[in-house]
Amino acid sequence: MIMIAARSALTAAPVLMEPWVDPTPPHPQAPGTEPADPVRSRRFLQPSAAARAGRTPLSVHRLSPLHGGDRPSRAASSNDQHPSKENVMSKRLSTQVDIEATPERVWEVLTDLAAYPEWNPFIVRAAGNVAPGRRLTLRMQPVGGRAMTLRPRLVEVAVHRELRWRGKLVVPGLMDAEHAFVLQPQAGGTRLIHRETFRGVLVPFAAASLDRNTLPAFVAMNEALKRRAEDPPRPRARTGAVDDRGTRS
In a domain, 237, yes or no: no
pLDDT of 80 above 60: no
What's the pLDDT tens digit per position in 83-135? 444 477 899 999 999 999 999 999 999 999 999 999 999 999 999 999 999 99
Give the integer Cα–Cα distance in Å for 30 and 43. 11
Cβ atoms of 201 and 208 within 8 Å: the answer is no
Segment 145-158 shows an average pLDDT of 95
Give the integer Cα–Cα distance in Å for 221 and 119. 8
Segment 72-92 shows an average pLDDT of 55
Residue 188 confidence (pLDDT): 85
Domain boundary among 53, 80, 107: 80
What's the pLDDT tens digit per position in 154-202? 999 999 999 999 999 878 888 999 999 999 999 989 999 999 999 999 9
Give the integer Cα–Cα distance in Å for 34 and 40. 6
In a domain, 36, yes or no: yes
Q: Tell me the torsion sign for CA atoms 195, 201, 204, 207.
A: negative
Residue 212 confidence (pLDDT): 94
Q: Tell me the torsion sign for CA atoms 116, 234, 131, 218.
A: positive
Q: Please give the residue range of the domain that contains residue 98.
A: 90-230
Amino acid at position 25, single letter: P
- The overall pTM is greater than 0.85: no
In a domain, 204, yes or no: yes
Looking at the fold, whether 118 and 44 belong to one and the same domain comes out as: no
Domains held by the chain: number: 2
Give the integer Cα–Cα distance in Å for 149 and 116. 14
Question: Strand locations in 141-245, DSSP E?
Answer: 148-150, 153-158, 162-168, 176-186, 189-199
In a domain, 159, yes or no: yes
Give the integer Cα–Cα distance in Å for 174 and 163. 24
In a domain, 10, yes or no: no
In a domain, 197, yes or no: yes
Looking at the fold, whether 65 and 116 belong to one and the same domain comes out as: no
Q: Which of 180, 167, 198 is nearest to 95 (CA)?
A: 180
Q: What are phi and psi of 92, to 5 degrees?
A: -120, 135
Q: Which of 13-22, 44-53, 156-165, 227-236 has the lowest mean pLDDT?
A: 13-22
pLDDT cut 70: percent of the chain above it: 59
Q: Which residue has the higher pLDDT, 185 or 240?
A: 185
Looking at the fold, whether 69 and 107 belong to one and the same domain comes out as: no
Looking at the fold, whether 105 and 68 belong to one and the same domain comes out as: no
Q: What are phi and psi of 221, to 5 degrees?
A: -65, -40
Residue 82 confidence (pLDDT): 45
Looking at the fold, whether 71 and 113 belong to one and the same domain comes out as: no
Looking at the fold, whether 36 and 130 belong to one and the same domain comes out as: no
In a domain, 244, yes or no: no
Q: Which of 25, 81, 17 is nearest to 50 (CA)?
A: 25
Segment 33-45 shows an average pLDDT of 65
- Residue 159 to residues 51, 156, 183, 232: CA-CA distances in angstroms? 37, 9, 10, 21
Cβ atoms of 163 and 155 within 8 Å: the answer is no
